[in-house]
Structure 1
């Protein structure tokens, strides 16, 4: 068995570490922050609890297979209420007959169109599941014994000739429903006009397998992973910064946010507390590379008194000009003037997340990265932008008990993500999802990447899949 050092205690790193420890490897986890979790974070103020990062879980079997009964999963219904600039709204359920009826009542014909769109997503899922569950498809390699060769028809199922925008327009007639479909691009940090149609899979998965919350908050996944690692004898060393990966012969690869390039064999990790020997290093950090950075986000957390009885667990409020939002992010590189607002109020499903009668409202606006990656200076812009978001929400200030925020600059400082880009490189281009940095670092034996900026992508389910894939590859090579 190998000595493994996992650099970074995000969900991907923790999940990979747990699988390796259960397989008998000697594992140590390093985290430069004062707590594990990375982008999956918790904020607590005055009895209100907020998930400051991911606030929705899909593909729940990935959590169950790793953590069993350590966490309690609660189904969220309806999945989301969508509000549009014309004042209309519609709620979508994972129950197809319910969703169909709601859509038909809202816009005749929209229910049938939505079923057709989900049918396209189902075909894409069948074409993608082998890639999501296995190693990166590029560069191609011979399948393992007993594993069937890739089906070339799978590439056609993801409709590479379409962007998400053109797929929505050829499938859905109501322009408002197209916005719902295009929203899936932001799950990977992309502009729907340039995002591959394959990202429609994210929307399909949400409706096919449901939306889920974890009792006590999504951060309970981090806590449960940490507990399980402790039972396996794994040490998580917080407050320790990994500075470089040591290679045989005395060379080293700096872990300074630049691309990991070199040749040789891993021998350890140089840290702020000295050098740790290792046969294998798993880097759960930003898989940097050349290219456009993904979306970041401006998060505002509000503890409110007098909960709105009409509140839903998830709500999306679209602006009048969706294209202007992405022009602001990816072209002008400025705070979005009229952003889509994502609202999550987990207390609707999990009353323990706020004091009696209170509301833990999490608000997220799409945002360009911080100035360190070519965007605005979010430290300077934060106060004014918070005021603008509060004005858009139109909440009586007297109801606000506590508030906190997490800007792209905060995200960069807390997680090391360049510019606060949530998903690393933006997956733009019709095959953009296939161009993520691979898990195995080319030319360096024993060095691996895990997490949302490498294969198979961002979001909790894919990060968990990344941990499973990397652990399996390391175990196979041991």
Structure 2
């Protein structure tokens, strides 16, 4: 039985802690903040409850596996899941609205009805090609720990290859233009990359795996919000004997005889350990990527029956929006936003009210006094900047939520500066999943660190961002510690 110290109580770190404790190890988690869950948090006020971090679950099999492996119980015995159908409704700049039903026939019919004959077939044919990406990368980029081996080359079978002798792998934007024909369908594809802070003009064609995963495995709502999942994972840790110490930052990971030997807490206390699992962001001050801005709207009047849970309202000008997000153009342009209208009685004080969240991908936070940042930033502590952005997001939400302004009781804002304070990620940046095939700039930390006895877990470790990927990192680290450094995942 090993003594294991876990730094951070994010979802991935807790998932690893629960698995390690179930395997017989003595596990202690030190979390710098006063709560667990990392970026999976909620705001509760006046009977309203909102997710302030991730609000939907993809690849729920990762969490089903956790509860089966740590207690032989189904996930659904701890939380209630409901698959969204349609998975989303997309509203384009010309006013066209297209739902994305979960069935293939429904998807083809909806796209043909909204975007014209042939649109559905082109989209589903693209998803078939994206399955080649999933088949080629699922194991090395999701189910195996990250090693020093190079990631798989982009396996997307594009209809057309560009560059000298057509050997250059196309970008996602080029795939969208070549294979989908309609600019609205192209915007639909690109929105999956933008949601994770990836520029579709430079993201590889393999990023098509993101809509494939969503269409194939669904988008799921957790009753009570994603915080309910964090609560369930925390309870599982406690049940398995994990000690979780909140409000206790870790200052250092000492190395003796070439091996990590424990942690030094901020108060100077040294805690010995046979293995140290680090769930912190490894980037100091200049994390790459983009962040998210969320506006939480408390409305009078109940949610209309049949209102879609998720609506993606596309930017009125795609090129201008991308320039503001990735090229440093000022002022920030009206972005693509996601409007969530959950059908969840626990999120509102009664049936005569509605809780609506509006989220957009934005540049990360850096104070106006900071200079020399190697990527586009915004000062999200500036009230005028926040107010202007809130106005843009509310205007977009008003196109799909009737009488929004008249129904508004109050609003709250969760900015990248808030996310930085809560998670420690510089600028409040959001980690990218490895499955997206992101450039090396976004590559995650290896689960097995170069220093023996040290491991990395969570969204900033392999296999990357999002609750499912973070949960998988916990499984990978638990396997490495329990089975040894040559373990390469379950078969």
TM-score after normalising by structure 1: 0.88
Q: Retained in 1: the 8 A contact 2:433–2:463?
A: no
Helix, strand or coil at the partner of 1:140: coil
CA contact (8 A) 1:59 1:461 kept: yes
Kept after mapping to 2: 8 A contact 1:296/1:369: yes
Aligned residue number for residue 338 of structure 1: 334
Deviation at 1:392, TM superposition (A): 4.0
- 1:456 aligned to 2:466? no
- Which residue in 2 is equivalent to 1:319? 315
In structure 2, stretches of 5+ residues that fail to align are 68-73, 159-167, 368-372, 486-491
Q: 1:468 matched to which residue of 2?
A: 475
Give the whole-Å Cα distance in 2 for the aligned partners of 1:64 and 1:334: 44
Q: Specify the alignment match of 1:267 in structure 2.
A: 261
- Conservation of the 8 A alpha-carbon contact between 2:30 and 2:248: yes
Cα distance in 2, alignment partners of residues 156 and 189 from structure 1: 22
Deviation at 1:60, TM superposition (A): 1.4
For residues 412 and 294 of structure 1, the distance between their equivalents in structure 2, rounded to whole angstroms, comes to: 13
Note if contact 1:191-1:428 (Cα within 8 Å) is conserved in structure 2: no
Q: 1:69-468 to 2 correspondence within 5 Å?
A: 69-106=77-114, 107-136=116-145, 138-140=147-149, 156-157=155-156, 161-248=169-256, 264-273=258-267, 274-288=269-283, 293-309=288-304, 311-332=307-328, 336-346=332-342, 348=343, 350-354=344-348, 355-371=350-366, 375-380=377-382, 381-394=385-398, 395-423=403-431, 432=440, 435-442=443-450, 444-468=451-475
The 1:66–1:278 alpha-carbon spacing in structure 2 relative to 1, beyond 3 Å, is: same
> What residue in structure 1 maps to residue 12 of structure 2?
12
TM-score (norm 2): 0.86
SS class of match (1:156):
coil
The offset of 1:241, in angstroms, is 0.8
SS in 2 for 1:332: coil
Q: Distance in 2 between matches of 1:322 and 1:451?
A: 32
Distance across 1 between alignment mates of 2:331 and 2:436: 21
Q: List per-residue Cα deviations over 1:50-89 (Å, max 9, x = no partner).
A: 1111111111111212132212211111100000110111
SS of aligned partner of 1:203: helix
Q: What is the CA-CA distance between 1:352 and the residue it aligns to?
A: 2.5
- Report the Cα offset of residue 389 of structure 1: 2.7
Q: Can you list the C-alpha shifts for 1:373-421, whole angstroms capped at 9, x where unaligned?
A: 5512110122332234334434544422232211111111111001111
Cα pair distance change 1:439/1:422, threshold 3 Å: same
Separation in 2 of the partners of 1:15 and 1:178? 37
User: Root-mean-square deviation (CA), in Å?
Assistant: 2.5
Gap change, CA 1:290 and 1:353, over 3 Å in 2:
closer
Structure 1 residues 57 and 335 mapped into 2: Cα distance closer, same or farther (>3 Å)? farther
- Structure 1 unmatched ranges of 5 or more: 142-149, 250-263
Distance 2:104 2:435 in 1: 30
**SS in structure 1 at match of 2:200:** coil
Q: Which moved more, 1:185-194 or 1:357-366?
A: 185-194
Aligned to 1:146: none
Residues 334 and 392 in structure 2, CA contact (< 8 A), matched pair in contact too: no
